[in-house]
Amino acid sequence: MSGTGHSGESKLGETGHGTFIKGTEIQEFYRDCNVLITGGTGFLGKLLIEKLLRSCPANKKIFILIRPKRGKSAEERKEKLFKCVIFDSLKAANPSFHEKIVMVSGDISLAKLGFSPVDYEMLTRQVNIIFHLAATVKFDEKVNIAVPINITGTKEIINLGRECVNLKSIVYASTAYSNCHLKDIKESFYTPPLEEDETINYLTTVDEVIMELIMPKVLGEWPNTYTFTKAIAENILRKTASDLPISIVRPSQITGTLKEPLVGWIDNFYGPNGLVAGVGMGLLKTFFNKGELKSEIIPGDLVINGIIVAAYDVGV
């Protein structure tokens, strides 16, 4: 799905007579929908918010789960979010675009996503589409942090989705490396490293010193806690949410944007971005590499296009 102003996209807006020009099938899918996004302040989250506002302007509200921060109100954090350069074109075209955005205080690692009872009930009545992007992406994250965020948070998203009275679809952002110990990976589910809830929950209670010692045994064929928890989360979706309209998107290493909303925009140094920056600045002189292997990378805006289409694909 191309962005506004690019070839191949229908323009969607008011005609001046109080009616709307019909958009593409995907734009029409999002018409009058309320969207909930977790991870909205991250790299992909910002791109998703911008793309939905620009290319699917007939949606109603975009709710963003945001963790409480000392000394910062939700409105202050909202203001900071939209100071990002990728929203400049939206500001110029429609200065009031941010009125569709509703910041909702929560925490994905907590029961009911940390929402207040009032907010939770409101979301179950209003939300139609859920994008679950939030995760800790640190490869060496401690288990007692990675499990509540990447696994428990996914369980809570499923619970919320099941209570939404007008749910159309859920998209879970995973990773192409959730089963990286396998040579060939298809659009299928695979056997996870752990399945029993009791065992998974137990990992969060183990003493850190002991966990450090047993970690290689716990991880098994998975190289780090990131891929380990993502594989488990995918399996939870398979086991407990097969009755819901859910899509799993597995991007590879995500880099700066190809063209939307800006060419080459990036706001982090994760993965290949840090490598390129280190070499370019002359700080990184050497690194280990297997020359015969190809690095799988994908621009952030292409990932977002896929995520938006995935919601449509399982929701129609």
Which pLDDT tens digit goes with each residue over 61-113? 999 999 888 777 777 888 889 999 999 999 998 888 888 999 999 999 999 99
Please say if the pLDDT value at position 30 is more than 60: yes
How far is residue 64's CA from residue 38's CA, in Å, rounded to a whole number?
6
Neighbours of 78 (CB within 10 A): 17
Q: How confident is the model at residue 313 (pLDDT cuts 50, 70, 90)?
A: very high
Q: Where are the domains of the chain?
A: 25-267+297-315
How far is residue 238's CA from residue 120's CA, in Å, rounded to a whole number?
24
**Of the candidate ranges 12-21, 102-111, 129-138, 253-262, the one whose mean pLDDT is the lowest:** 12-21
How far is residue 294's CA from residue 90's CA, in Å, rounded to a whole number?
37
How far is residue 66's CA from residue 40's CA, in Å, rounded to a whole number?
8
pLDDT of res. 280: 86
Q: How confident is the model at residue 195 (pLDDT cuts 50, 70, 90)?
A: confident
Which pLDDT tens digit goes with each residue over 107-145? 999 999 999 999 999 999 999 999 999 999 888 899 999
Q: Which long-range contacts (CB under 8 A, 24 or more apart) does 106-110 make?
A: 106/65, 106/66, 106/67, 107/67, 107/68, 108/38, 108/65, 108/134, 108/149, 108/152, 108/153, 108/156, 108/157, 109/148, 109/149, 109/152, 109/153, 110/148, 110/156
How far is residue 157's CA from residue 244's CA, in Å, rounded to a whole number?
11
The structure tokens listed for 92 are 């110029």
Question: How is domain 25-267+297-315 classified at the CATH fold level?
Answer: Rossmann fold (3.40.50)
pLDDT of res. 13: 53
pLDDT of res. 83: 92
Span 220-245, average pLDDT: 95
Please say if the pLDDT value at position 6 is more than 70: no
The structure tokens listed for 70 are 């000392």
Higher-confidence residue of 10 and 250: namely 250
pLDDT of res. 3: 38
Neighbours of 14 (CB within 10 A): 11
pLDDT of res. 71: 73
Q: How far is CA 280 from CA 108, 157, 185, 275, 284, in A?
A: 36, 40, 33, 9, 8
Q: What is the pTM of this model?
A: 0.90
pLDDT of res. 295: 84
Is residue 133 within 8 Å of 44, Cβ to Cβ? yes
Is residue 246 within 8 Å of 314, Cβ to Cβ? yes
